A and B are shown apart, each in its own frame.
Chain A
Amino acid sequence: MNRAWRNIKAIIAKELKGYFGSPVAYVFTIIFLLLSGFLTFSVSHFYEAGQADLRAFFIWLPWIFLFLVPAVAMRLWAEERRSGTLELILTLPIRLPEIILGKFLAAWLFISMGIALTFPLVITVAYLGNPDMGAIIAAYFGAFLMAGAYLSIGALTSSLTRNQVISFIVSVVICLFFVLAGWAPVTGALRGWAPLWLVNIISGFSFMTHFVTLARGVIDLRDVVYFFSVMGFMLFANAVVLQNRRAV
């Protein structure tokens, strides 16, 4: 157990060195912060709305993550395959689940750092008004979980190909399905011809459905379980893909 944890930590350290050793980390973080800031203040009219909450910010996250998280995830496995280091790491005395977990946690940690860097927004709203801090914390918690779910899908697509672009595109498409399944215009349209129980099942699969509750400040165990289930399933599939490689 100790050995496994030490290996995972070593992988996390190696991965983070990799992120910060290349422009990826800085480009991602800066773009994320600029984009979310722009959308919150200019497009959502945060000031004009005059509400002491961060709905204006959180409402954009599913869409921002849709493009930025797959961009982080696409290099997870595709890069190792392309550069030949997969052959190096898989012949070291480390278990595959340890590598998978280490890479995923490192990426999640990195994205979480980006999300955490939006704290000036919290300071702003706390200074200007009297927000419900509990609700804001819950919403951040939901954002971390949702980022993890997007990431796990990106990790899976990355393990399927050597090509980072393919990984990115496929991952965006899959995540798009996950988001749209619970997006109001889509569920509205579905309700027109499908029975209610079916609409509920479909939207129950969606990131949007589960994030919206958390973003409002309500920590429902079902939503937490949902996100962890998505991550668990995708990481398991990731392991299956790598375990069953028949060729390089």
Chain B
Amino acid sequence: MIEVRNLSKSFGEVVAVDNISFNVARGEVLGFLGPNAAGKSTTMRMITGFLPPTSGTAIIGGHDILKESLKARNLMGYLPENAPVYGEMTVSSFLDFCAEIRGFSGRNKVQRKNEVIEKCFLKEVKHQPIDTLSKGYKQRVCFAQSIIHDPPYLIMDEPTDGLDPNQKHEVRTMIKEMSKEKTIILSTHILEEVEAVCTRAIIIAKGKIVADDTPDGLKARSPLHGTYRARVSLTPQSGEDRLNALKESDGVKDVEVLARRETQLDVRIYPAGQLSANDILGILTNAHMEIESFSVEEGRLDKVFRMITT
């Protein structure tokens, strides 16, 4: 369990992180969302022990980062923003160094190193100086060092930053697999990543927590949640009447026309009261609408995000 208790950080007059508290348990993947300069990276830097907090603390696996810094750091793997690595070293010697500091030696160390090289698809570039690698590879090298000691706690700052869609998929799959046995906190700007990987999301803005919920829970906050989208085909003659008939129907609060074409209409239906998709389908058929496609709106994270942070 990671317990963040009243964590605050000020740089002179500027309050970057304002009294943040939350807990993360084993098996959870917590996504940190927020506009730039919201305080995500600063919070992570305090949890991992890089920056001293102005007040408050973080407790990792029972060890206070301020009082038992070394023990806490032993339990964490950290992937900092921009994936810093020692450029002049080769992938192999860099991971060797990290493994050494993590307490491994001899054959065990070599084994761990090779395992993580395989896992992160670094085999072809094993002996290349890291400076000569592309951003994607550098990111994977830094990712590799964060998991080389199989830590119970993983803190990752934008883990898929700069990766192509295939690589993003690989990393997300790895994270999901690891999440069963670990406690993971990751920060991201990519909302689809939150839906794909996270079990829980915290939105931070201006140093404060403004939302703490599951991705589905956040989506439900959208005013469009629970509405229905339909694409219907009509003839120009019957179009308007049928639309009005639909608007008048029992159970329909409002109909919003999203797009109008020659023989097609995209509409959003706001139900009046608790109606199932089946009911709405029935209403559409009764209004003599020919349905081309139909979907239930869950709500969009980016709209909810904008709603909450502006």
Q: Which residues of A contact B (CB under 8 A)?
A: 3, 6-7, 10, 13-14, 17-18, 21-22, 83-85, 87-88, 90-95, 245-248
B89's contact among A6, A21, A84, A94, by CB below 8 Å, is which?
Answer: A21
Residue contact A93 to B73, C-beta cutoff 8 Å: yes
Task: Please report the C-alpha to C-alpha distance between residue A21 and residue B85 in the assembled complex, in whole angstroms.
Answer: 14
A247's contact among B11, B76, B78, B85, by CB below 8 Å, is which?
Answer: B11
Chain B residues with CB below 8 A from A18, complex form: 86, 88-89
Chain A residues with CB below 8 A from B88, complex form: 17-18, 21-22
B73's contact among A6, A91, A245, A247, by CB below 8 Å, is which?
Answer: A91
Chain A residues with CB below 8 A from B76, complex form: 91
Task: Please report the C-alpha to C-alpha distance between residue A186 and residue B119 in the assembled complex, in whole angstroms.
Answer: 64
For residue A22, which residue of chain B has the nearest CB? Answer: B88
Report the minimum CB–CB distance from A147 to chain B (whole Å).
23
Q: Which residues of B contact A (CB under 8 A)?
A: 11, 45, 48-52, 70, 73-74, 76, 78, 80-82, 84-89, 93, 97-98, 100-103, 105, 129, 142, 145
Report the minimum CB–CB distance from B176 to chain A (whole Å).
24
A85's contact among B81, B86, B103, B105, by CB below 8 Å, is which?
Answer: B86
Chain B residues with CB below 8 A from A21, complex form: 88-89, 129
Residue contact B100 to A83, C-beta cutoff 8 Å: no
Chain B residues with CB below 8 A from A95, complex form: 70
Task: Please report the C-alpha to C-alpha distance between residue A7 and residue B97 in the assembled complex, in whole angstroms.
Answer: 9
Chain B residues with CB below 8 A from A248, complex form: 45, 50-51
Chain A residues with CB below 8 A from B101, complex form: 7, 10, 92-94
Residue contact A6 to B100, C-beta cutoff 8 Å: yes
27 residue pairs bridging A and B, Cβ less than 8 Å apart:
A7-B100, A10-B97, A10-B101, A13-B97, A14-B86, A14-B89, A14-B93, A17-B88, A17-B89, A18-B89, A21-B88, A21-B129, A84-B80, A84-B81, A84-B82, A87-B45, A87-B80, A87-B84, A88-B78, A88-B80, A91-B48, A91-B73, A92-B101, A93-B74, A94-B101, A245-B51, A248-B50
Report the minimum CB–CB distance from B197 to chain A (whole Å).
22
Chain A residues with CB below 8 A from B45, complex form: 87, 248
Report the minimum CB–CB distance from A92 to chain B (whole Å).
5
Residue contact A90 to B97, C-beta cutoff 8 Å: no
Q: Which of A18, A22, A90 has the most CB of B within 10 A?
A: A90
Chain B residues with CB below 8 A from A247, complex form: 11, 51
Residue contact A93 to B97, C-beta cutoff 8 Å: no
List the 8 shortest-distance A-B pairs measured between CB atoms, nearest first: A21-B88, A84-B84, A10-B100, A93-B73, A91-B48, A93-B74, A85-B84, A87-B80
Residue contact B87 to A83, C-beta cutoff 8 Å: yes
Task: Please report the C-alpha to C-alpha distance between residue A21 and residue B97 in the assembled complex, in whole angstroms.
Answer: 15
For the complex with contacts A90-B49, A91-B73, A246-B11, 12 further pairs of A-B residues with Cβ separation under 8 Å are A7-B101, A10-B101, A14-B89, A14-B93, A18-B86, A88-B78, A91-B76, A91-B78, A93-B73, A93-B101, A95-B70, A247-B11
Task: Please report the C-alpha to C-alpha distance between residue A88 and residue B76 in the assembled complex, in whole angstroms.
Answer: 12
